[in-house]
Amino acid sequence: MTLRRAQRRRGRYRLGYRRPVSYPEQPVSAPERSGSVPPVPAAQPLAAKVIGALRRGGAFLVVGAIGFLVDAGTYNLLVFWGGEGILYHSPLPAKIIAIAVATVVTYFGNKWWTFAHKNTDNPGREYLLYAVFNVVAIGLQLGCLGFSRYVLDLSTPLSDNISGTLIGQIVAVVFRYWAYDKFVFVGGPANAEQQK
């Protein structure tokens, strides 16, 4: 009889009882024996994480494009509707209104689509942080334009569009996505069905 078989045989019979008693291979804690330990979610494979990140990134870009159209459309309606809109002589307040409307649209688009897999416990805090990070992102975009204009001394329409619109927008989009994911939409998973 091998040592392993002898140990198994001794483990089955304790204190003279003839009824077999089975013991788990690994020790089990008291909460596990009672069944009160919540199940641990299985780790996602790398491919599933990449696909999820690509879906969220694509949704984020679509929401941003819609926000851009809402911003441009609102501004043009306020300033140029019918030749001279109601805020034709006040373009800055018109732009502030347009940005505010676009921010509301993109907030709900991101909340309900891009980051729908996360629950929220405080919508007021969420929207306040969303607005703050949008202001920071606008500052980053203006910073790229200002660097091109005042540090590099480039003032052509091409350099303004490359630095302010292209590079500035890329920097702002990357910052927004990171900030929204890390600080704004930080609730736990909504449910297992939405994560798939």
Looking at residue 94, what is its pLDDT? 83
Indicate the average pLDDT of the chain. Answer: 76
Predicted pLDDT of residue 62:
92
- Average pLDDT of span 86-113: 85
Q: What is the pLDDT of residues 2-41, one digit of tens each?
A: 655 655 555 554 555 555 555 555 555 555 555 555 555 5
State the amino acid at position 154 in one-letter form. L
> pLDDT band at residue 1, thresholds of 50, 70 and 90?
low
Best CA proximity match to 63, nearest among 98, 95, 104: 104
Q: Where are the beta strands (DSSP E) in 10-121?
A: none
Q: How far apart are the first and last CA of the chain?
A: 51
Which uninterrupted H or E stretch holds 31? helix 30-34
User: 3-state class of 161 per DSSP?
Assistant: helix
Which stretches of the chain are assigned E, i.e. beta strand?
Answer: none
φ, ψ of residue 189 to 5 degrees: the values are: -60, 140
